[in-house]
Structure 1
Amino acid sequence: MRVSILASGSTGNSSLIETAQHKILMDAGLSGKKMKLSLAEVGVDIADIDMVFLSHDHADHSKGLGVLMRRYPRLAAFANSGTWEYLAESHKIGQIPVGQINVIEPGQTQTFGDLEVTAFATSHDAADPQYYVFTSGGKRMVFLTDTGYVSQQVKGVIADADAYLMEFNYDDLMLRNGPYSWSLKQRILSDVGHLSNEDAGHALVDVVSSKTKHIFLAHRSQHNNTAKLAYAAAKKILLNADTALPSDVKIVLADASVPTNLVQI
């Protein structure tokens, strides 16, 4: 399994997961043009994408999905029923081709040839948010952003993975002293908001293992965080904690506009 984080931030989120049999997008929060260019940067033709898994309806995760589905009829798109119902009623992504809609609910695991996907519910102010564990060739990669907290149940689902993409959204002091309105700050700080650098780091401490070789720091706020603060928090918390992380674990900063290299998981 190979992975590239195509973009991750408040302006748009999408990642590529590649197995021997599939090329998959995790979220489609970029324009069709940007998605095509980002995939080309890592050597993938957008026409070869055969599946998209959507986490939730917010535009920075979903805005490119309708265009992709209409432009590429062979594409199979997956989300839970609550998300599909909201997108259909709100028309946020335009007309959705019914034949390309597929449902995977929280708690379900579905298998597609050499790929196994497990969905789990998260806590965010969207219609019905969920994220996924992707497993192929004995390797597991977890995607988890846009959640106000990480429950014990979620930790049980995501524990002992080979790689994690985890939300490091904000630095607490930057957010509290920053330009946002107090109501927006309260929303971000709430149980249906986002994870701070510290919350994300401590959640990882509870789930990483000696198998974990890659940790991608994702969904960093452009106003309430910096790459330096996110990286420093992750390194301090993870390396000072009593974990079995291998000494060669790679902590990778995902970028809002530049894809990471394709990484072998």
Structure 2
Amino acid sequence: MRLCSIASGSSGNCIYVGTDTTHVLVDVGISRKRTEEGLKSLGICPGELDAIFVTHEHSDHISGLGVFSRKYNVPIYATTRTVDAIKGARSLGEIDGELFQTVKADESFTIKDMTVNPMRISHDAADPVAYRFSYGRQKIGVVTDLGTYNDYTVECLKGMDALLLEANHDVNMLQVGPYPYPLKQRILGDRGHLSNENSGRLLSRLLHDKLQYIVLGHLSKENNMPELAYETVKLEITQSDNCYKAGDFPIQVAKRSEVSRLIEIA
């Protein structure tokens, strides 16, 4: 299996997951042109896509969905309430209703040789989910936009070979930054976004011998820095009470406006 962040951040998200025969995107929150260029840099024609999985209806996850789907007619998978919210987003224009396929958290299904399993997340959207993908024994998780995590989250993400996980903000940067108070409270809340510290703490509960790659994603442009996210997460892992150190695992930070390094699961 392969994982690549085409774009990841508070201004737009688009993640590729694939096998030799199956190619999917998680969210299209960037322009059609950038999505096309990102796929082509991976050697994939946009018309080869088998599905687009939408996590939720916020603009940084769906802004390019309308234009892209009208050109390529790729099936769009999302929860029922997310589909309704997408259909109500006038900025997207008309999307062919036959493209929509509904999913439910914890109900897995297959697309060609890939198994997809949505999971519940805590975020202030209609009915948001994250996605886990598997091919044979290989497993990849793409999990952003969660204000908090619990035992259910941990259980869902155990045994991943690669994990793209949100490290959205540094709490201190957010608290002293330019955002209005209500927005700061939303981000810090249980239905907001995961901080660097909490990202590291969640990761510390997910580490195992066969975990091959960790990608930190959905960084805030205003309230975080790649180096800060990287170092904070590493520190949380090293200080945790498990038997691992941060240096035991490759950790990369997904780029905001460039295609990140392609990850291939051994």
User: What's the TM-score, normalizing by structure 2?
Assistant: 0.95
Cα deviation for residue 92 of structure 1 reads 4.1
Q: Deviations over 1:212-243 (max 9, x none)?
A: 11000101111111111100011111233314
1:12 aligns with 2:5: no
Q: Flag structure 1 segments of 5+ consecutive residues without an equivalent.
A: none
1:30 aligns with 2:30: yes
Q: Deviations over 1:123-150 (max 9, x none)?
A: 1111111111011131111111111101
Where does residue 251 of structure 2 map in the other structure?
A: 251
Is the 1:205–1:243 contact (alpha carbons within 8 Å) kept by the matching residues of 2? no
Would the alpha carbon gap of residues 125 and 135 (structure 1) be closer, same or farther in structure 2, given more than 3 Å must change? same
TM alignment of 1:144-159, pairs within 5 A: 144-159=143-158
Where does residue 63 of structure 2 map in the other structure?
A: 63
| Count of residues paired in the alignment | 264
Cα deviation for residue 97 of structure 1 reads 0.9
| Cα distance in 2 between the residues matched to 1:91 and 1:127 | 16
Is the 2:15–2:25 contact (alpha carbons within 8 Å) kept by the matching residues of 1? yes
1:52 aligns with 2:52: yes
Cα deviation for residue 114 of structure 1 reads 1.4
| Cα distance in 2 between the residues matched to 1:258 and 1:236 | 26
Cα deviation for residue 247 of structure 1 reads 5.5
AA partner of residue 109 (structure 2): Q
AA partner of residue 29 (structure 1): G
Q: Flag structure 2 segments of 5+ consecutive residues without an equivalent.
A: none
Q: SS at the partner of 2:88?
A: helix
Would the alpha carbon gap of residues 67 and 32 (structure 1) be closer, same or farther in structure 2, given more than 3 Å must change? same
TM alignment of 1:127-138, pairs within 5 A: 127-138=126-137
| Cα distance in 1 between the residues matched to 2:243 and 2:254 | 23
Would the alpha carbon gap of residues 217 and 84 (structure 1) be closer, same or farther in structure 2, given more than 3 Å must change? same
1:182 aligns with 2:149: no
Is the 1:124–1:193 contact (alpha carbons within 8 Å) kept by the matching residues of 2? yes
Q: SS at the partner of 1:220?
A: coil
Q: SS at the partner of 1:210?
A: coil
Q: SS at the partner of 1:204?
A: helix
TM alignment of 1:86-165, pairs within 5 A: 86-165=85-164
Where does residue 203 of structure 1 map in the other structure?
A: 202
Would the alpha carbon gap of residues 55 and 245 (structure 1) be closer, same or farther in structure 2, given more than 3 Å must change? farther
Would the alpha carbon gap of residues 45 and 201 (structure 1) be closer, same or farther in structure 2, given more than 3 Å must change? same
| Cα distance in 1 between the residues matched to 2:208 and 2:64 | 35
| Cα distance in 1 between the residues matched to 2:246 and 2:225 | 26
Say which is worse superposed, 36-45 or 78-87, in terms of deviation.
36-45
Taking only the aligned residue pairs, the percentage that are identical comes to 34
Q: Deviations over 1:17-68 (max 9, x none)?
A: 1112211101111111111112222222212112111100001101111222
Is the 1:140–1:162 contact (alpha carbons within 8 Å) kept by the matching residues of 2? yes
Would the alpha carbon gap of residues 117 and 245 (structure 1) be closer, same or farther in structure 2, given more than 3 Å must change? farther
Where does residue 263 of structure 1 map in the other structure?
A: 263
RMSD (Å), alpha carbons: 1.5
| Cα distance in 2 between the residues matched to 1:96 and 1:195 | 31
User: What's the TM-score, normalizing by structure 1?
Assistant: 0.95
